[in-house]
Each structure stands twice: as C-alpha cells, then as structure tokens.
C-alpha cells in the first residue's frame, strides 16, 4: 500500500473511531474541545507510526490506548500547574502523590468502561440547547459524524472559516457555561432529547432536499444523519420517538435513487419510478415504525410523519396512495405541532383526496401567513391546484414566484420549466 493510500486508510479508521475516542476522553477531562484535541493527537501519532509498523489488528483499541496516555499526560500537567499555585505543607506531599497516582489508575480504568454511556453523553452535549441550531449541527457532525471542517462547510455551502468559527464558539460556550458531560435527568430528558432529534433531522433534511446550491440532494448528509439515528436507537432503545425518527429517515432515504434523473434533475414523488425505491430501507423503516407502536408512541410528532411516509411506501403505484389517511395524519400532526408548513402539506393531501378545489381553499387561507412569505413550496402547491382547475395563467405566475424564492438551482430550473410548458389559456 502506498503512503497516500495508507494515510487514507488511517483517516477512514479515525473517522469511525473518533466519536468513541472523544466520548471516552470527554467524560474524563470534562471538556469536549480538549477531548477532541487529545483524539487528534492520537491520530497524528498513528500517521507517524503506522506507515512503518503497519495498521494494528485492532486500530480502535490502539487509538484508545494512545488517547488514554495523552489524557493522563494532560491531567498530570494540570496537577503540576495546580501544585505550583498552592501552599502545600511538607507533611502532605507523600499523601498527595499517592492520591494522584490512584486517580491516574482510575482514569485508565474509566476509559476502558462501556463506551455506550459516553456516546450518549456526547450526543446530549453536542446538541445542548445553549447552542444555536447552526452550532449544534456543526458540532454534532464534527464530534459524532467524524466530518472535517472542510467537509461540513462543503455540505452546507458556507465558507470553511464560518464552520470553523461556529465549532470554536460552540466549544467555548459549552466550556464557559460549564455544561456537565452527562445524560440529563428525567425532568429535562424529553426536552433535551427533542433537541438531539431536531439536530439529526436537520442534517437529514439538508441532504434530502438541499436548501441551496446546484444539487437536488446531498446523499452524504442523509447517510450521516441515518448513522447518528441508528447509534441513538442503540443507546436509548425504549424511546419511541427515536425509533420514529429513524423510521422516517429510512423510508425517505429509500427513495433516493428515484428522486433524480441521470442529469441530476429532480423527479417529484408522484412521477418517480417506484421500482427504484430501496425495499431494504423501506422494510427497516416499517419495522422501526412497528417498534414505535409497540412502545405506545404512535401519536408522537416523528411517529406521525413516519406513518405518512409509510403510506407512500406501501403504495405500489401513486394511484394506490391512501390520501385520505395521509390527510388525517397531517391533521393529527397539526394538532400535536401546529405549523403553517404542516398545513401546506395537509392541503396537498386534502387536494388529492377530495379534489383540487378543497386543497386550494386551504392554501388560499395560508397566503397571508407572514411566516410563509418566503416559503417557495406555498406558491408551488398553489400552482399545482390551479393547473388542475385549468387556471393556467395564475399557475404560471405562481411557479415564477416559487422559482424566485428557492435557493436551489435544480429546483429553480424545474419550476421555470413547468411554467414554460403550461398552455397559454
């Protein structure tokens, strides 16, 4: 293996192992920023030694042992500095040396403990509500997704310096606020878990329907989100909404191959070749949804969205879609999590279940909603209903408005093309 190939293999190993390393280290040093630096030190050591010695049979254990030594050195340095700032009596010196050695032994043993709890602590720390949504996403992808700053910046189409600043500020905020590296206790667990799920779904959605740039999808982000969701399911297997989010992402991800043509142009749901839908992902999603129902969580926000996705997945053809059921589910979702965007989606389902006039009536009530002023899907949906009602001139204007609002180049081209193909009257 050439040196570049070996370095690539080492980097791939580190991406897989880095969340475990950082999680184990953060519990000991109580600072995710320091933990990441120590893990990076272990990677540097691997890059120096493995080209000569070869990749170990168990590279994760090697990296953990190296990181453990770095953590012990870090603690020793801190204690030496503390001793210089303290007035220590001669009679206590031997006792303190013994105590320090004992703590170092405990440190080594602690890093060998079950890593599952540490990963869960890292998830809740990276997704702490004290951070902005953008910071939570960036820090989660960095610490748990193993992505580099450059990769995160490229995925979200923002300058690398912006992502770097978000991550640095996030670590500083967590350190200055002395955010405990722990799983929150029962009273706040539900709220904090909601923040974690929100971050994972934000990552998935940015991959599934990119808000900007030239590509309709960024599959890498979908894969990162799914991986994080699957990890979380293993860590909290009795939480119904975690299974629900994974079910939703599995089913939505199953459509990836059918959502774009060979040129990368978008293909809308009802026009997709359903033979291209990934049946393995669908079956995994439906199984996860079954687990949600077994846990009594069918009425949760993500559970309702997963149930809607399941209605599409079970329909062999678009005509077999149970739109009445989908409209009912959107109604329940609106009751649990009121949102104008949910109402737009409900309007689509109502229009397909009860006719375009019924759907248009709902959409027309939403046109004055301030929060939807820049939402390009509102005029897109309105245009669909207007086309079905034969009001082509109005539909053309709505499609042009939608094209002006979207930041995705592929979607803009799709909308303008649809407008151009409409009859003149």
pLDDT band at 114 (very low <50, low <70, confident <90, very high): very low
CA distance 152 to 145: 10
pLDDT the model gives residue 191: 80
- Higher-pLDDT residue of 397 and 27 is 397
CA distance 318 to 322: 9
pLDDT at 158 over 70: yes
What is the residue-averaged pLDDT of the chain? Answer: 85
pLDDT the model gives residue 1: 55
pLDDT the model gives residue 216: 58
Q: Which of 125-129, 267-271, 284-288 has the highest mean pLDDT?
A: 284-288
pLDDT the model gives residue 99: 39
Q: For the segment 165-176, what is each residue's pLDDT rounded down to a tens digit?
A: 999 999 999 999
Residue 315, phi-psi category: left (phi > 0), alpha (psi -120 to 50), beta (remainder):
beta
Q: For the segment 360-382, what is each residue's pLDDT rounded down to a tens digit?
A: 999 999 999 998 988 999 999 99
pLDDT the model gives residue 48: 87
CA distance 425 to 396: 10
CA distance 419 to 398: 9
pLDDT the model gives residue 205: 85
pLDDT the model gives residue 309: 97
Smallest CA-to-CA distance from 304 within 285, 284, 326 is with 326
CA distance 251 to 306: 8
pLDDT at 398 over 90: yes
pLDDT at 53 over 50: yes
pLDDT at 101 over 70: no
With both helix axes pointing from N to C terminus, report the angle between 279-294 and 240-253 in degrees, rounded to the nearest 10. 160
Smallest CA-to-CA distance from 415 within 319, 96, 184, 405 is with 405
pLDDT the model gives residue 377: 92
CA distance 215 to 271: 19
pLDDT band at 54 (very low <50, low <70, confident <90, very high): confident
- Secondary structure (DSSP) of 315-356: -SSGGG--HHHHHHHHHHHHHHS--HHHHHHHHHHHHHHH-H
With a pLDDT cut of 90, the percent of the chain lying above it is 47
pLDDT at 84 over 50: no
pLDDT band at 105 (very low <50, low <70, confident <90, very high): very low
Q: Which of 59-73, 189-203, 249-263, 300-314 has the lowest mean pLDDT?
A: 59-73
CA distance 46 to 56: 10
pLDDT the model gives residue 416: 94
Length of the chain: 425
pLDDT at 387 over 80: yes
């Amino acid at each position: 293996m050439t040196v570049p190939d070996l370095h690539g293999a080492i980097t791939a190993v580190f991406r897989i192992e880095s969340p475990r390393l950082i999680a184990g280290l953060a519990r000991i040093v109580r600072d995710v920023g320091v933990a990441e630096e120590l893990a990076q030190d272990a990677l540097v050591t691997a890059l120096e030694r493995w080209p000569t010695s070869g990749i170990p049979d168990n590279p994760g254990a090697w990296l953990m042992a190296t990181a453990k030594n770095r953590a012990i050195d870090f603690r020793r340095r801190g204690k030496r500095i503390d001793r210089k700032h303290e007035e220590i009596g001669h009679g206590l010196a031997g006792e303190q040396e013994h105590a320090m050695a004992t703590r170092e032994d405990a440190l080594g043993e602690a890093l060998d403990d079950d890593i599952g709890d540490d990963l869960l602590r890292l998830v809740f720390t990276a997704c702490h509500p004290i951070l902005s949504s953008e910071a939570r996403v960036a820090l989660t992808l960095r610490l748990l997704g193993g992505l580099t700053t450059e990769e995160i910046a490229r995925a979200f189409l923002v300058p690398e310096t912006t992502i770097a600043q978000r991550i640095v500020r996030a670590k500083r905020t967590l350190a200055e606020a002395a955010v405990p590296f722990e799983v929150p206790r029962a009273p706040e667990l539900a709220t904090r878990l909601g923040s974690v799920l929100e971050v994972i779904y934000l990552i998935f959605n940015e991959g599934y329907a990119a808000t900007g740039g030239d590509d309709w999808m960024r599959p890498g982000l979908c894969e990162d989100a799914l991986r994080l969701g699957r990890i979380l399911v293993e860590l909290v297997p009795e939480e119904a909404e975690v299974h629900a989010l994974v079910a939703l992402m599995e089913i939505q991800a199953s459509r990836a191959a059918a959502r774009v043509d060979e040129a990368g142009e978008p293909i809308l749901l009802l026009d997709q070749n359903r033979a291209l839908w990934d049946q393995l992902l669908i079956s995994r999603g439906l199984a996860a949804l079954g687990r949600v129902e077994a846990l009594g969580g069918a009425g949760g926000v993500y559970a309702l969205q997963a149930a809607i996705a399941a209605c599409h997945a079970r329909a062999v053809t678009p005509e077999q879609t149970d739109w009445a059921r989908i409209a009912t589910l959107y109604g329940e979702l609106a009751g649990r999590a009121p949102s104008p965007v949910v109402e737009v989606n409900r309007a689509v389902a109502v229009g397909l279940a009860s006719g375009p006039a019924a759907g248009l009536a709902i959409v027309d009530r939403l046109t004055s909603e301030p929060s939807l002023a820049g939402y390009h899907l509102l005029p897109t949906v309105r245009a669909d209903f207007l086309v079905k009602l034969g009001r082509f001139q109005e539909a053309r204007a709505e499609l042009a408005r939608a094209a002006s609002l979207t930041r995705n180049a592929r979607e803009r081209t799709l909308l303008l093309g649809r407008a151009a193909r409409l009859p003149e009257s």
